[in-house]
Each structure stands twice: as C-alpha cells, then as structure tokens.
Amino acid sequence: MEKRKKEIEAYGMAARGRKELIRHLEGKPLQRGQAITAKCYDCMGYYADGKFDCLIPACPLHSFMPYRGRAGN
C-alpha cells in the first residue's frame, strides 16, 4: 500500500477523494462519504485525464460521484 500511496502523491490529480484514498491507504478510518469519494478517485485512475463523470451509470456509486454530470471531451 505504501507504493500506491507514493504513486498517488506523485501523479494523482488534486481532486475530491485524493486525501481520503491516501488516508485509507495509511490505515485510518473513513466515514461513508469519504469512502465513496476515495473509491471514485481510485476507479477513475486518480482523475489523470481530468475531473469528469465516469459515465458508468450501472455503478452503484455513480449517484454519489463528485463530478457526476460533468462529461469529459
């Protein structure tokens, strides 16, 4: 997990979910909303291409996604 943490710190875009994912990787507890944004950040590849909607409405977390409705180019 330390390797992932360093990868996120080096390459992860500053976006909602970043600090929460790092906190999780450090073994610290998260509240439900923090866990959801952390998962979206992780699933979206640390928002490497920008802060956009994942466009996966079949995902059970889609309605909680921080950038839902903001489509990428």
For residues 53, 22, 3, 1, the Cα torsion angle rounded to the nearest 10 degrees is -100
State the pTM of this model: 0.87
Domain ranges (residues) in the chain: 2-64
Contact criterion met (CB below 8 Å) for 53 and 70: yes
pLDDT score at 73: 55
- For the segment 37-56, the average pLDDT, to the nearest whole number, is 91
Residue 24 CB partners (closer than 8 Å, separation 6+)? 30, 35, 38
Q: Nearest to residue 68, comparing CAs of 47, 57, 39?
A: 57
pLDDT at 70 > cutoff 80: no
